[in-house]
Each structure stands twice: as structure tokens, then as C-alpha cells.
Amino acid sequence: MYICVCQAVTERQIQQAAQDGARSLRDLSRDLGITRECGRCAICARQCLKQALADCHSADVALYENNSLAA
């Protein structure tokens, strides 16, 4: 799904940016161009980033727990 229509940025691209280190709307603007034109995507992009970061954190915790159990 497109989050930023002006820059043709998808939810998946935001998830990838989060995995690559994006932590704020400013990071998304710098890396993907989000909010550089009309700015209507700001709220949705922020929510998408927040969810992507939560998912990254959950995946890290699961990986850590799996590695801890394996050790």
C-alpha cells in the first residue's frame, strides 16, 4: 500500500527503512522523500514507522530468546 503518493513510497519501503536504521519521520524524509511535497502522508508514515520499529523489536527479542534457548 502506498503511504506517500507524491513520492510513491510504500509501507514495505518504510519497513525496510526501519530495518536499515530509520528512527524518525526526519529519517524517512531524508531517505525516502516522505513529506517533501504535500505532507499529507506524515501521520500515516509516522504510524507505519512506529509499527515497523515495534515489529523489528519483537523480531529481535524472539531471535534473542531462540538463541538463548539454543545455548
Residues near ligand FES (CB under 6 A) are 4-7, 34-41
Cell of 9: 513510497
If the CB atoms of residues 7 and 16 are measured against ligand FES, the closer one turns out to be: 7
If the CB atoms of residues 42 and 53 are measured against ligand FES, the closer one turns out to be: 42
Least separation in angstroms between residue 38's CB and ligand FES is 4
Least separation in angstroms between residue 46's CB and ligand FES is 12
Integer-rounded Cα Rg, in Å, for the chain is 14
Q: Measured between alpha carbons, how far is residue 58 from residues 24, 35, 61, 64, 66 in Å?
A: 18, 28, 5, 10, 12
If the CB atoms of residues 1 and 71 are measured against ligand FES, the closer one turns out to be: 1
Beta partners for residue 2, in sequence order = 10
